[in-house]
Structure 1
Amino acid sequence: MRVLIVGGGVLGTMHAWQAVERGHDVVQLEREPEARGASVRNFGLVWVGGRAAGDELDTALRARELWAELGRRAPGLGFRANGSLTVLRTPTELAVAEETVARADAAARGLALLGPDAARAVNPALRGDLLGALHCDRDAAVEPRTAQPVLRELLLATGRYTWLPGREVRDVDTGGVRDDRGERHAADVVVLCTGAWLGGLVREIAGTPPVRRVRLQMMQTDPLDEQLTTSVADGDSLRYYPAYRGAALDELNRTQPQPAIAAEHAMQLLVVQRLDGGLTIGDTHGYAEPFPFDVDEDPYEHLTEVAASVLGRPLPRIRRRWSGIYAQCLDTGQVVHRERVADGVWLVTGPGGRGMTCSPAIAEQTAEELGL
């Protein structure tokens, strides 16, 4: 078959990879010169431990396998099975972790509860006060700013892949698309992976998908002068990920409310060290549109303070700050919105904060559903 992918982000590129791997010819169009949306404005986390039981966890575990395979074939992805530590600094946070590791699926998630000394043995950079840490050895990381170009190099080497940036699709129908240069691109199957771009063409052909947009703020530091051997999260992440829901989390929310600024921006601390040594730090969650065009400094100050307290040292200079917008299914228990919007035309969007984690497996599921 000839498969046409609209969208150059990680989800679209993974769909291209799946199609090429199955022997099909692929053309991928992207309206920008390079992907500039959520696919490059994230942590690069392959985050397994906190996923909801059932389809979401199964998808994340399969995606973790596929990321490892891709990492072996394309070292430039920077895939590393570094795991994560969620730092626990209060008895109520510790109780949530204890309840989580007591569940039957803790081993499948790769979760273990470590005491302070054991946590620091895994990641010596954690010099702040802590009562323990939840260790997930299934979690991993890649480099989000270079992942798509590296994957495309792998695809181009097959001779069955064409990359067409700077092309905005104006019309879609059974049999192909027409771009803003007036060129027609024929295809047997069209897959729209347009991310948070839900207006224009998407609205014309799909109406209003059951998807909302979410805004985040993040930052990156200059290189840290030591290795952060795992990704790091704080106790607020227990409130955000569905794996931790239960009586202990209810007690945490009741007796240990977030600081006002963290609650206002639905914040958690996540820290990932890039290959150059810099730290990617975030994040916030904003749901009310229209989104502001500028970034708010108060969340950055809070994240800086919390990250410094976890590491027990001042952070390097903040090198850059940014905001991003991603698409999330309104039913947050649904991993992705996949819909046939016309004969041979599919819309795949809405993985939310799971896009980098789950995209290889989401693309595999799409390929199987479409019979590629």
Structure 2
Amino acid sequence: MRIVIAGGGILGTLHAREAIARGHEVVHLEREPEARGASVRNFGLVWVSGRAQGPELAAALRARELWERIGREVPGTGFRACGSLTVLRTAAELAVAEEFAAREDAAERSTRLLDATEAQAVNPALRGDFAGALWCERDAAVEPRVTLPAVRASLSATGRYTWLPGREVREVREVAGPSLRDDHGAVHYGDAVFLCTGAQLGGLTRILDPEPPVRRVRLQMMQTEPLDEQLTTAIADADSLRYYPAYRGPALDALTSGQPQPPVAAEHAMQLLMVQRADGSLTIGDTHAYEEPFPFDVTEEPYGHLRQVIEGILGRPLPPVRRRWAGIYAQCTEPDLLVHRREVAEGTWLVTGPGGRGMTLSPALAEQTADLAGL
């Protein structure tokens, strides 16, 4: 079969990989010279931690398995099974972790509660003041700025993959089968078409699907100069307990009612996530903004809060900040859906809205789409 894909982000790229893996030919369009959205403005985390029991956790575990396979086949992704530590400081935070670690699915997630000494043995860089940590061995990381080109290079080597950057889709057609017309006037015919539009919900996407159950979310992040020691795991703070659905329960209710977030963290719906890049630098975030129009500039207060939290965990100053940026991703608002996936024309599928789970879940989501489309 010939598959046409629009959208060069992680979701579109892994849909292309899945199609190639099933023996098909792929034509892959991207409106920019290179993907510039959430797919390259993220942590690169393959994050099993905190995923809701049921389809979300099942997809995360399947995606983790697929990412490990991708890492073996495409070393340029920088895949590493680093695990994560969610650092806990107060009795209320420990209570949430204890409740979570006692659940039956904790073993499925490879998650257990460590005291401070055990956590420091897993990650010796943590020399600050804390009471314990949730250790999730299933979490992993890739390098977001280089993963997409590395995967595309592996697809090109098959001889069945064509990459067409700088091509914006202007029309979906159903003449002689599903096809796309781009802004160069070229028509790309296929047996199936996948539109992986990311946070671009206007224009043609709105024409095809006027009221999708999807919202846009803005976040701020930063990257430091290299740290002079290895950070052996990804790091989260206890604000992640408030953000991820798996931690919900009586202990979390007690935490949120009795231990409010610091004002800056509450205002910007913050949690700390931190992962060390291949060059030793640290990617750090993040914030969440849900009301549009989003600001066009970044705000300094969240960065100051993150610095304070991290330095308390590490017990040392952060390296100088090298970069600051904002990003926007699309998030499906249907609570039971991992992604908004709809056949908007015969043989043409719109796939968008994985939210902050995009880097984690994309291999599994692509697999599901391929099955639904009969690939």
Same fold (TM over 0.5): yes
Match of 1:257 among 248, 253, 260: 260
Secondary structure of the residue that 2:52 maps to in structure 1?
Answer: coil
Residue of structure 2 equivalent to 1:39: 39
CA RMSD of aligned residues (A): 0.6
Q: How does 1:41-56 map to 2 (within 5 A)?
A: 41-56=41-56
Cα deviation for residue 302 of structure 1 reads 0.6
1:218 aligns with 2:234: no
1:204 aligns with 2:224: no
Secondary structure of the residue that 1:271 maps to in structure 2?
Answer: strand
1:49–1:110 contact (8 Å) kept in structure 2:
no
Match of 2:309 among 301, 306, 321: 306
Cα deviation for residue 332 of structure 1 reads 3.8
Secondary structure of the residue that 2:269 maps to in structure 1?
Answer: coil
**Counterpart residue identity of residue 233, structure 1:** A
Rounded to whole Å, the distance in 2 between the matches of 1:260 and 1:299 is 10
Q: How does 1:105-144 map to 2 (within 5 A)?
A: 105-144=105-144
1:195 aligns with 2:159: no
Displacement over 3 Å in runs of 4+: none
How many residues align? The count is 372
Secondary structure of the residue that 2:51 maps to in structure 1?
Answer: coil
Secondary structure of the residue that 1:148 maps to in structure 2?
Answer: helix
Give unmatched runs, 5+ long, in structure 1.
none
Residue of structure 1 equivalent to 2:357: 354
Encode CA deviations 1:128-160: one digit per residue, 9 max, x unaligned: 111110000000000000010000011000000
Rounded to whole Å, the distance in 1 between the matches of 2:367 and 2:210 is 25
Secondary structure of the residue that 1:293 maps to in structure 2?
Answer: coil
Q: TM-score, normalised by structure 1?
A: 0.99
Cα deviation for residue 311 of structure 1 reads 0.7
1:173–1:345 contact (8 Å) kept in structure 2:
no
**Counterpart residue identity of residue 138, structure 1:** R
Secondary structure of the residue that 1:105 maps to in structure 2?
Answer: helix
1:60–1:358 contact (8 Å) kept in structure 2:
yes
Percent identity, aligned pairs only, is 70
Q: How does 1:1-372 map to 2 (within 5 A)?
A: 1-174=1-174, 175-372=178-375
Rounded to whole Å, the distance in 1 between the matches of 2:238 and 2:326 is 23
**Counterpart residue identity of residue 148, structure 1:** L
Give unmatched runs, 5+ long, in structure 2.
none
Rounded to whole Å, the distance in 2 between the matches of 1:42 and 1:332 is 23
Cα deviation for residue 333 of structure 1 reads 3.9
Q: TM-score, normalised by structure 2?
A: 0.99
Cα deviation for residue 49 of structure 1 reads 1.9
**Counterpart residue identity of residue 95, structure 1:** A
**Counterpart residue identity of residue 82, structure 1:** C
Rounded to whole Å, the distance in 2 between the matches of 1:37 and 1:87 is 29
Secondary structure of the residue that 2:104 maps to in structure 1?
Answer: coil
Secondary structure of the residue that 2:193 maps to in structure 1?
Answer: strand
